[in-house]
Structure 1
């Protein structure tokens, strides 16, 4: 087989689905498959998944790939949802369902990571990270804690299930709240929290070989036994790698269940409240604003309004913006820039003249504004006035980055009308990358690096093409809306003023539901 006939499989273990991509020796996508699944919420605020569901999704998705493509796969790389945790025995068998990043049960245990604007944590800590969740297990499931040998990140569990080594990589470890910003385990903190040091797997580079595919897994997936398994990385750094981010200041917007704005850096970024600074899949760094409520909030609004997606888009972008209606999308708390796990959302300012379309449009706009709040934190341009603003990132104006352009990744940003609203709300030009499965592509590139097909110096030449798809205008989404407001209703303010109202409303209602959320 010639080098160009070799194939590399990328597995992207996401929150709502598992995606596969097979890529050739030039990094070109040859086949894809996916299987969706739903989070399990056995109690309010919990977010879990039986790992058997991940395995069955992998088997089902692999069966959809052409046999000829599977036969040519010579290495596998892994991309995984970040922060959650899988507790296993010594053989890698899960002892309980995986606990995932939207989980808020450990909110009351964040006192171990004190934080204030003057002395921010190295990274923001959320209740769905491995650190708080493992503290909860110690307190509430001591028998599971006693039996556990490993506390693995989701993609690390999957790699072990395929025959790989027990290992962690810096890009995932640094997002557990149990490691230094460079990804090295902070065993002093781990001991102080009473967590067993045995739980934490040794670190390996994302592109390192961490085992080979077992005979049993190969038979189940229709792949060759013995092919190399790369350690893998978190989904965000994999998406950045797959999207071709390489230069200082390159920026990526991913929209899926949640949303991330990633800006690359060659050196360690400074700590900035409300933002994350994590290791990349190739040894560099990135600054990230992480918004929890993007696809999950739009899916909830669509369901509440009894829309299918085609009609949701059509009605929403045919409706003019409301002069009074605002949607706060914080249905599961929020991370960037608010660091507020108790935040909750909904529509405010509704009137009798509002329609389903008006409500759905407001949902799209509210999500776009939530993303803008995260981008403002990256830019250091401020989020409002007075005391509320001091809790965000206004004081970091000197360390912000301008971010005039963003590459787009993720399945939630393909509609042209939605892209235009995002460009207007974010005040940034958006470039669609010629790779709809960026995280799976990044994982496959790690597999190719692990088996020696590529070297680090080859990655720049493998970057996918990017096409300008929308540029910010003078509230283009408003100008393109047909018709006029319903009789007796005022015309909406410009988008910038509606964003200011969104920020003001969040500041006013942020404490209303805090006791109930806790």
Structure 2
């Protein structure tokens, strides 16, 4: 007996099969690229998702597919798929990196229970009502990506609180805000009723089963957003459990038994289980480091070696009470694509300050690693200021495997880091939701399903690094007006 988890991501679709003990047995992934027909747009033909799913399933062993008893779904959050009554998309899906609705955010004046971004379903649908009236007339349903996929598989027309609460059209619990929808002239009838993320919400159709090489009638769980699925798959099950993921962007998620208080710069959303979570979302992690690596013409192995040899030189020189290495004088702001937590400034930009003729490429690369670590620390500081003390983080994501980078993160964040032995947390979390819908597990069993985590780094109390972090914050506060923002007073 096994369970299938499908993660409909921004750049790829992953399908993973886990056994009755929660162990991953096989995984298959298919990549795709977003379409940008106009500047600031981010779209995708939903048929691309379906083809990716068919191809991913073909990459899983036949005998494992034969044992699947239930399917759970994870999906990229915030965007929207518009369909007719039969579930056929009436236009390409609009996705979270889309910024076409940036000028329409006035409908969500501060303070809001959650920060509102232009790529969320609310602003995007407001744009549709204003600019694509024919599309609006053809629309019967406005679905989240994973809900579109479940319906296509034969499932029910429902959504879950973890996705609904992140649309900017519902309250923090995920209940649709009828008054707001009326004010925006967005039809309330477009939005599916709510169901638990781990509820049984339909069964796999014969047509879909044949295309995917599965048995018809398999239970379909409602599913959840990719962040709560990753938290579930990564082993977060109790109040205060915390996870750091580093990929293109970075996220720090802290589970909570009850609804957290609102705090500027943070999100507070429903989890895939009956919990809530605080989230700090930082946009510039892997994307900033990759761009700097390319600018400096490094291969990754050379980037790590040169950056951290600069660090070693810096530490040695200070220990000898001599003139600090020049690398310690450089600060890098990593905000190449704006920033969410804690600044909420889509116009923020990045760069180096403090460069001199003495500096090397290695010093610049080192400053970039530090700048990204400091950006994550600013997000974690917001979480701590909101009332969630965090002394340890589970660590996941492909951008966090180098031991030297992990140590820098532990020092900059002032936390212990425990690497989770679960490379595919989101599809694993989706598979667990499928097993819950099937009745194989109960929510009380989730703590026992947490994957093993190994302590990989701890803070060393680096005073020089702490001083550089203070300089990083001061620098951002000084230059923020250049970008069109307002000077920073504090994290609130």
TM-score by length of 1: 0.87
Q: What's the counterpart of residue 426 of structure 2?
A: 439
Q: What's the counterpart of residue 371 of structure 1?
A: 376
Q: What's the counterpart of residue 392 of structure 1?
A: none
Q: What's the counterpart of residue 280 of structure 2?
A: 289
Contact 2:394 2:419 in 1 (8 A): yes
Q: What's the counterpart of residue 164 of structure 2?
A: 173
| Cα distance in 1 between the residues matched to 2:266 and 2:424 | 25
User: What are the Cα deviations for residues 23-70 of structure 1, in whole angstroms up to 9, with x where unaligned?
Assistant: 000101111122223333333332222222222222222222111111
Contact 1:246 1:264 in 2 (8 A): yes
Q: Could you say what secondary structure the match of 1:408 adopts? A: strand
Q: What's the counterpart of residue 350 of structure 2?
A: 345
Q: What's the counterpart of residue 17 of structure 2?
A: 22
Structure 1's unaligned 5+ residue stretches are: 1-5, 381-398, 476-492
Q: Could you say what secondary structure the match of 2:70 adopts? A: strand
Note the 1:281-320 alignment, pairs <5 A: 281-320=272-311
Q: What's the counterpart of residue 473 of structure 2?
A: 503
| Cα distance in 2 between the residues matched to 1:402 and 1:104 | 34
| Cα distance in 1 between the residues matched to 2:148 and 2:331 | 41
Structure 2's unaligned 5+ residue stretches are: 315-326, 486-492
| Cα distance in 1 between the residues matched to 2:307 and 2:33 | 25
| Cα distance in 1 between the residues matched to 2:103 and 2:255 | 33
Q: 2:125 aligns with which of 118, 127, 134?
A: 134
Note the 1:445-484 alignment, pairs <5 A: 445-475=432-462
Q: Does 1:428 align with 2:433?
A: no
Q: Does 1:35 align with 2:5?
A: no
What is the total number of aligned residue pairs between the two structures? 471
User: What are the Cα deviations for residues 248-277 of structure 1, in whole angstroms up to 9, with x where unaligned?
Assistant: 211111122221111111111111111111
Note the 1:96-495 alignment, pairs <5 A: 96-115=91-110, 120-320=111-311, 322-380=327-385, 399-475=386-462, 494-495=464-465
Q: 1:357 to 1:148 in 2, by over 3 A?
A: farther
- 1:441 deviates by 1.0
Q: Does 1:44 align with 2:50?
A: no
- 1:346 deviates by 3.0
| Cα distance in 1 between the residues matched to 2:448 and 2:220 | 23
Contact 2:335 2:348 in 1 (8 A): yes
Q: Could you say what secondary structure the match of 1:510 adopts? A: helix
Q: Could you say what secondary structure the match of 1:497 adopts? A: helix
Q: Could you say what secondary structure the match of 1:83 adopts? A: coil
Q: 1:318 to 1:67 in 2, by over 3 A?
A: farther
More displaced 10-residue stretch of structure 1: 12-21 or 344-353: 344-353
TM-score by length of 2: 0.91
Q: Could you say what secondary structure the match of 1:459 adopts? A: helix
Q: Does 1:88 align with 2:83?
A: yes
